[in-house]
A and B are shown apart, each in its own frame.
Chain A
Amino acid sequence: VTEESRPSTETSKALRDFARAAGGALIFSLPMLMTMELWQLGFYLDRLRLFVLVITALPLLVLLSRYIGFEDTRSWQDDVFDALIALGVALLVCLSLLILFGVLRYDMPIDEIVGKVTLQMVPAAIGALLAKSQFRETDSDEDTPGREDELYGGELFLMGVGALFLGLNIAPTEETVLISFQISEWQVIGLIVLSLGVMHAFVFAVGFVGGSKISAEERWWSPFIRLTLPGYVIAMTVSLYLLWIFARLDDLSLEGIVTAIVVLSFPSAVGAAAARLVL
């Protein structure tokens, strides 16, 4: 590489990373950008919940940059910087598409515009950071150092991101709560059993690389206790968080809250267990 060509190479790499991030933001947030409930939540959602969403998203994005990210980072400063870039890319993608869809108009109050964009920006930023894995080229393009060295905590974190990946698409819709209204306690228990079964099948079928790799000599209950059960509790926690953020638990009884969490935990659990496939 000559001295003259180096800056242009760096520029093209930066442009490629930006395009990847924008593509990831688009893939992750498109279902939400075209969901009516999210447009409405943008203007009536309690601003405290919106604030909590943004505040909790920041450390999540930094950790995501550490584990996946759209470029290989070497320091926490780089991760913070990448998280902020992801938010910027997400802002651009969401703003452009919401204007093109006619969801944002110039005569709207600024509070409504900010609410609608902020709500969509957070999942889009997660998508921007996941872009590396979604658009990963061959191993020769960019290897993924660290994957083999992942620890148990990293695996649980990725499960949480997988749960967010599917849960975020479904939590804002009315259907989650409506399903919880029309099923009995026994059906709810059936959903828990099914979620655990599906999760465990994924854990076995996909396997988890790194520190907790499942070996042939291991009994079935070992990964069930170490990975499937914690993964399901993570899926439940993510579901509780999302349902609260999107105000789907307001005015429900304790049983209603538990039922709604279990209903959303089904897709979240699938996302958590299939994190290796979808991320």
Chain B
Amino acid sequence: MVQQKPEENRRPSIEWVFGAISAVIVAGVIAFLIFEATFGDDQGPALAAQISKVEQVGLDTLVHVAIVNRGDKVASAVNVLAVASGADEKLQAKTIQFDYVAAKGSRRGVFIFNGTKLTRNEIKVEVSGFVEP
């Protein structure tokens, strides 16, 4: 008496190969997430602002800034303040609001100081506040 082979044994081997590779990928993603959930830090947003470039465009000074979040939580409504004091000792303050800065992520923005030529040493940038989402 001939016993019928189960249906899955008759499948082309390529289907099982694709299935096995996919299983490894999905298991890898889940393992990564479990590792992060178990051993990852859980501190709140840790924000820092730094000037990445200062350039003169016409009569204006463009100050490129990068906001880095080294914390493990996202920060929303991140306000960044830039204060410049030129040769005339006149203070100028500008603000930018970033809608969010992701955990371990960064965002970039540009301050524009109209009608003045500034150097990097004449500008200070800082994060003035944020909202927890």
Contacts and interface: CB of A to CB of B under 8 A. Distances in A.
A256 B105 contact: yes
Interface in A158-194: 177-178, 181-182, 184-186, 188-189, 192
Given A218-B8, A222-B7, A229-B23, A152 B14 contact: yes
A258 interface: yes
Q: Chain B interface mostly helix, strand, loop or mixed? A: helix
Interface stretch (B26-34, B85-93, B115-123): B26-34
Interface in A235-260: 236, 251-253, 255-256, 258
A262 interface: yes
A157 interface: no
A215 B10 CA distance: 12
A182 B74 CA distance: 8
Contact of B30 (A152, A189, A211): A189
Contacts of A219: 6, 8
Interface string B33-45: 1101100100000
A230 interface: yes
B48 to A, nearest CB: 14
B29 A192 contact: yes
B26 A232 contact: yes
A209 interface: no
A34 B21 CA distance: 39
Contact of A217 (B6, B25, B33, B106): B6
A19 interface: no
Contact of A229 (B7, B19, B30, B105): B19
Q: Chain A interface mostly helix, strand, loop or mixed? A: helix
A182 B103 contact: no
A236 B100 CA distance: 25
B80 to A, nearest CB: 15
B102 A253 contact: yes
Nearest to A237: B25
A226 B107 contact: no
Interface string B55-73: 0000000000000000000
A232 B19 CA distance: 10
Contact of B7 (A181, A215, A230): A215
B29 A258 contact: yes
A192 B105 contact: no
Nearest to A156: B18
Contacts of A186: 37
A189 B6 CA distance: 33
Contacts of B100: 178, 181
Contact of B34 (A185, A196, A217): A185
Contacts of B7: 215, 217-218, 222
B22 A232 contact: yes
B22 A230 contact: yes
Interface of B: 6-8, 11-12, 14-16, 18-23, 25-26, 29-30, 32-34, 36-37, 40, 74, 100, 102-108, 133
Interface of A: 152, 156, 177-178, 181-182, 184-186, 188-189, 192, 196, 211-212, 215, 217-219, 222, 225-226, 229-230, 232-233, 236, 251-253, 255-256, 258, 262
Given A218-B7, A219-B6, 10 more contacts: A185-B34, A185-B36, A185-B37, A192-B29, A215-B7, A226-B11, A226-B19, A230-B18, A233-B26, A258-B29
10 closest residue pairs by CB, A with B = A253-B104, A185-B37, A225-B19, A229-B22, A222-B8, A181-B74, A233-B22, A226-B15, A230-B22, A185-B33
19 contacts: A156-B18, A177-B102, A178-B133, A189-B33, A189-B37, A222-B11, A225-B16, A225-B22, A226-B18, A229-B19, A229-B22, A229-B23, A230-B21, A232-B22, A233-B22, A253-B102, A255-B32, A255-B103, A258-B33
